[in-house]
Structure 1
Amino acid sequence: MDEELRQMALEVLEDIAHWSLRSSGWERVGRGLADMERTLRAADVTGFRRAVADVEMAGPHRISGVEEASSLPVPEVYRERVNELIHDLQAPREERPSAGAVNGGGPGQHD
């Protein structure tokens, strides 16, 4: 993964803490985070880039009164995923997850 993609992913992940979305929006973010985890561990750069874009697009783009009233802060389960991804992306290169490194490369607790 190139440094530009890594930095872009970190920026998106750090922004999530400030988002307020409807439940359906958080579900979309959760799917994107799961894809980020999976593709990062599989060293699938193209898939990871797509997953980062999916998470970013799931974020808030405008605020309206009705939607704002039903918006929620980031759910704890997603906050934990975000923290794990940030940790993985900030780890020295030799310590970053690779294919099969976590959960044997198969489905895990977040799938």
Structure 2
Amino acid sequence: MATDQARAPQALSAEDAEVAVDILRALLAQEFAETRWDEVERLINALKDAVAAGNFDAFDAAVVELELVGPIRVTRLGSIPVVPPPSRVRERVNRLIHELVKPSSSPQEPNDRPARH
């Protein structure tokens, strides 16, 4: 049945994983308001879930959102203080990076799925 095949988890391409890892590592160097870190944590969880499910659309959406979550360039006087990543976020990022870079038992062929940037 075609719908069963569509739901089967698939391995991410090495290129997709590399893009996600680069974004996750860059997040560790950022400073945001605590409420923004809460949003980043939600996106990290969405990315983790997409990887676990082999859901490429959800993976791509989470990667794009994480890429766009960057710091606001203009800071106003009296603005909310920014902080480096809380330990819970650092831990989730590090676990996800480990998951993305670990060798797969069945690596995907490069042409199986075009990488998105």
Question: Does the alignment reach a TM-score above 0.5?
Answer: yes
Q: 1:16 aligns with which of 7, 27, 36?
A: 27
Q: 1:94 to 1:66 in 2, by over 3 A?
A: farther
Residues 14-93 of structure 1 correspond to what in structure 2 (within 5 A)? 14-64=25-75, 66=77, 70-93=81-104
Larger CA deviation: 37-46 vs 54-63: 54-63
Q: Which runs of 5+ in 2 are unaligned?
A: 1-11, 108-117
State the Cα deviation string for residues 73-105 of structure 1 (Å, max 9, x = none).
101001000000100011001289xxxxxxxxx
**Residue 25 of structure 1 contacts residue 59 of structure 1 at CA under 8 Å; is this kept in 2?**
no
AA paired with 2:87? E
AA paired with 1:92? P
Q: Is residue 3 of structure 1 aligned with residue 3 of structure 2?
A: no
Report the 3-state secondary structure (helix = DSSP H, G, I; strand = E; otherwise coil) of the residue aligned with 1:20: coil
Q: Using structure 1 for the length normalisation, give the TM-score.
A: 0.76
Q: Which runs of 5+ in 1 are unaligned?
A: 97-111
Report the 3-state secondary structure (helix = DSSP H, G, I; strand = E; otherwise coil) of the residue aligned with 1:72: coil
AA paired with 2:30? W
The Cα shift of 1:59 comes to 2.1
Aligned residues: 96
Provide the identity percentage.
27
AA paired with 1:46? D
The Cα shift of 1:4 comes to 2.4
Flag the structure with higher helix content: 1
**Residue 44 of structure 2 contacts residue 93 of structure 2 at CA under 8 Å; is this kept in 1?**
yes
Cα distance in 1 between the residues matched to 2:78 and 2:95: 29
Q: Stretches of 4+ moved more than 4 A in 1?
A: none
Q: 1:67 to 1:49 in 2, by over 3 A?
A: farther
Q: Using structure 2 for the length normalisation, give the TM-score.
A: 0.73
The structure with the larger Rg is 2
Computed over aligned residues only, the root mean square deviation of the Cα atoms, in angstroms, reads: 2.1
Q: Which has the higher contact order (CA 8 A, sep 6+)?
A: 2
